Structure 1
Amino acid sequence: MPNGIIIIDKPAGWTSMDVCAKLRGIFHEKRVGHAGTLDPMATGVLPVFLGRATRAVEFAEQTGKEYLAGLRLGLVTDTQDVTGRVLEERPVTCAPAEVEAALAAFRGEILQVPPMYSAVKIGGKKLYELARKGREVERKPRPVTIHALELLERTGAGDYLLRVRCSKGTYVRTLCHDVGAALGCGGTLSALRRTEAAGFGLDRAVRLEDVQAAADRGEAERLLLPVDAYFRDHPALTVGLREERAARNGAAFPWRGADGTYRVYGPAGDFLLLGELERGRMRTVKSFYEV
């Protein structure tokens, strides 16, 4: 059965779950999950985990992401992007220098109010379900971090291309909306391309049609990265048979070394687990071995 990670360059018009469904059919594997939802209009990096690798999704979801975002000034929509219903259109009189100056207030730790068209739940209901019924409810601001926010170029009279590096939970369309509000002319997201997620960039991404072509040749599994590729920043260590038996039984085992998080491999070289070494005892954080 296929086990591993594949980085998809998601096409516009597809939901993240559409991509997972397609890959579920290609690889004939029920266990498929993704790290970080992309709206249908967005394109770019979508890490997808198959088989036992789905156990790593919870870690990958927590990481920051990077985007190229189109900011369109003078336009306000109900979805905060160009796919929504236009609420306001205003003249744009600000110069690029003013846009650059406005971005300064959005770098670092900021508060964002989740958009109504989002999967955030309030009172057990997803906001987009309420929004589609014409309802709007009060949302509390949430802390997010904008690690980098750069104006790359002006692409039209009121259009700009931004590079955004941000924490989990950041809505780039809300960022565009809020920048437009700060400039007094309104703003919305005109395009979005994710360039990095879960530590993987576009250089590792493949198109769905290329995955299908590889599957038609019987070579789709060659596109999968091993699950330990996600944990590559943690040091690796190889244990003996005694330690492997303990780990497979869910028990901690003694090990010498500096405290920290490790990739733990069995004597045969197979990836057993992500472990935490503390005071000479290695405990399992998450196991990845064959049962």
Structure 2
Amino acid sequence: MGRRRKGLPIHGWINFDKPEGMTSTAAVGKIRRLFNAQKAGHAGTLDPLAQGILPIALGEATKTVPFMMDAAKTYHFTVCWGVATTTDDREGDVLETSSHRPTDADIEDVIGAFIGNISQVPPAFSAIKLDGRRAYDMARAGEKPEISARSVQVDRLTLVNRPDNDTAQFAVDCGKGTYVRSLARDMALKLGTFGHVHYLRRTRVGPFDEKSTIGLDILDDLGHIAAEVDALDAF
């Protein structure tokens, strides 16, 4: 006989609103422990810096994870102009700087080049596997991962706001495998400057949007309730 899997046979999806600073793996672990689920998995990694929708599957729903990973996604992000970093976001070390700042008209002129089926090179600090090793592990070890360009689909890219001369806010609808950090980096280079992602939030994954998310505060409350119930059961 096969070994019985620990936990309860709970099945379904949790539309989790991941906070900034939490890894996707930690989010899955927290929800799995909270529900004491036998199986759990997520539908597309969000970087620790990123926040927003991270659909988490429990039980039999994990079989549908590949379909959800292929779903279209929407992100809202802020680009900081004039600074290139090792990670293509604000957490990396500064590589190069530029005093050039694009105008709104400049930005609108190049946006079209990043819509459709485009080619992009994922960031060095990414989960891409090269000969069995994660690119981010190689980068942290001081190596320079040679990542090939890949085709990704961008359906919409919009300049949403320009808070100041140094930053610009965008919204993008894109397909599987699109790196927003690469998008920000490449847009900046086409504009004759450097750039990195300062803020990133995922607002949609397929059918999951912000109307029905469960945040960390709600999960913590559920955890406290579960602990109190367990304590009462002990009497």
TM-score, reference length from structure 1: 0.73
Q: Which amino acid aligns with 1:202?
A: E
Query: What is aligned with 2:79?
Result: 71
Query: What is aligned with 2:58?
Result: 50
Query: What is aligned with 1:255?
Result: none
C-alpha distance in 2 between matches for 1:164 and 1:16: 21
C-alpha distance in 2 between matches for 1:138 and 1:92: 29
Deviation >6 Å, runs of 4+: none
The answer to whether the aligner puts 1:146 opposite 2:154 as a matched pair is: yes
Larger Rg: 1
Deviation at residue 92 of structure 1 after TM alignment: 2.6
**Partner of residue 116 from structure 1, selected from 116, 124, 131:** 124
Q: Which amino acid aligns with 1:20?
A: V
Deviation at residue 155 of structure 1 after TM alignment: 1.4
Q: Secondary structure at the match of 1:139?
A: coil
Query: What is aligned with 2:173?
Result: 165
C-alpha distance in 1 between matches for 2:30 and 2:194: 38
Q: Secondary structure at the match of 2:27?
A: helix
C-alpha distance in 1 between matches for 2:215 and 2:96: 36
Conserved in 2, the CA contact under 8 Å of 1:47 and 1:198? no
C-alpha distance in 2 between matches for 1:22 and 1:185: 41
Query: What is aligned with 1:187?
Result: 195
Deviation at residue 102 of structure 1 after TM alignment: 1.4
**Partner of residue 209 from structure 1, selected from 212, 217, 221:** 217
Query: What is aligned with 2:47?
Result: 39
Query: What is aligned with 1:59?
Result: 67
Q: Which amino acid aligns with 2:73?
A: K
TM-score, reference length from structure 2: 0.90
Summarize deviations over 1:163-204 as a string: whole Å, max 9, x none.
Answer: 011010000000000001001111111100000013210111
C-alpha distance in 2 between matches for 1:174 and 1:63: 20
Deviation at residue 29 of structure 1 after TM alignment: 1.2
Conserved in 1, the CA contact under 8 Å of 2:82 and 2:101? no
Deviation at residue 93 of structure 1 after TM alignment: 3.4
Conserved in 1, the CA contact under 8 Å of 2:100 and 2:193? yes
The answer to whether the aligner puts 1:105 opposite 2:117 as a matched pair is: no
1:1-291 to structure 2, matched below 5 A, reads 1-217=9-225
Q: Secondary structure at the match of 1:155?
A: strand
C-alpha distance in 1 between matches for 2:77 and 2:172: 7
Q: Secondary structure at the match of 1:138?
A: coil
Q: Secondary structure at the match of 2:164?
A: coil
Percent of pairs with identical residues: 38
Conserved in 1, the CA contact under 8 Å of 2:101 and 2:165? no
Summarize deviations over 1:147-175 as a string: whole Å, max 9, x none.
Answer: 00000010122201100110100000000
Q: Which amino acid aligns with 1:154?
A: R
C-alpha distance in 2 between matches for 1:145 and 1:33: 24
Could you list the runs of 5+ residues in structure 2 that have no partner in the other structure?
1-8, 227-235
Q: Secondary structure at the match of 2:159?
A: strand
Deviation at residue 215 of structure 1 after TM alignment: 4.3
| Count of matched residue positions in the alignment of Structure 1 and Structure 2 | 218
Q: Which amino acid aligns with 2:118?
A: I
Conserved in 1, the CA contact under 8 Å of 2:24 and 2:42? yes
Q: Secondary structure at the match of 1:136?
A: coil
Conserved in 1, the CA contact under 8 Å of 2:81 and 2:101? no
Conserved in 2, the CA contact under 8 Å of 1:92 and 1:158? no
Q: Secondary structure at the match of 2:138?
A: helix
